Amino acid sequence: MSEFCKDKVAVVTGAGGTLCSAIAKDLARKGAKVVLIGRTREKLEKVASEIMGGSRSGATADAQERVPPSVRIEPGDVTDEKAMQEIADRVLAEWGPCRYLINGAGGNNVKAMPTRLRFSEADLQGGSRSRATEDAQERVLPADRGFWDIDMEAFKSVLEINTIGTVVPSRIFGLQMARAGGGSILNFGSMNTYRPLTRVAPYAMSKAAIANWTMFFAQYMAPAKVRVNAVAPGFFVNERSKQYLMTPDGGFSARGQQVIAHTPAGRFGEAEELLGCVEWLLDDEKAGFVTGITVPVDGGFLASAGV
């Protein structure tokens, strides 16, 4: 068993998600003291339970105290600098400095996604159909919508969670690493880092920005012996992607078929297939001279022109 992270603190944001929960569980198996950060306590409780090999029911306010010491739950918003600082201070006081930071928190918003893929005469309406209507205090968008129909507040929220939600933890835990003599930060890009996929403009913008941020922060933090890299997962199936890549009976949707047709591996990825790359990038012995890069783990998607 690899012991590169044994007894060291690993902070995982977005830890309730499919990929980051797999990373958190893997680091815990390798002996790390894992801090689970996310917005939903119940999801973090589930991951913590799986890490400890047991089960619990009914997340309560005192759940933190009932979690054994190799894993701790820290619900919080990664864009909230004050909240992240408070978590970092607690972790430092009780467990010591963060050694590894996995910036996995992020997401998309259907209200920021057009349903039409290209400009059409309907777009000449200039977004008049996208003006807010009252429905339980929520904005309602037309089912058939172009770029001028999307909700710009949702657009901004996607940019914020994916960019500021990476920068804030990097600032806070990166400084903690620097004070302790070093560390490793891992960010999350995507296929959108390289080419914008249709319908997801703000998500694509933010994931392209992550590669740029990774390079900037890597060169800035090098004197502090803090390495900064990123992974760019291809199409891995999770609860969100199932909704648009697969049909209810387990088949491929039209979009899912397009993805498979452009993926030489001929299938979607499994979370466990990301772990080897993650370990390599985090491990100072295996990747001590590697910093500022974004590694695609995509079944060949980027290598395929589709013709």
Active site residues: 203
DSSP string of 183-220? EEEEEE--GGGTSPPTT-HHHHHHHHHHHHHHHHHHHH
Give the end-to-end CA distance of the chain in Å, rounded to a whole number.
43
CA distances from 198 to 115, 244, 306 (A): 9, 13, 15
- Residue 261 phi, psi (nearest 5): -65, -25
Record the tokens describing residue 220, joined without a space.
């800035």
What is the layout of strands, in order, in the sheet containing 71-75?
71-75, 33-38, 9-13, 98-103, 183-188, 226-233, 294-297
Nearest in space to 259 (alpha carbons), one of 199, 188, 187: 199
- Residue 3 phi, psi (nearest 5): -125, 25
Residue 144: Cβ within 10 Å count = 12
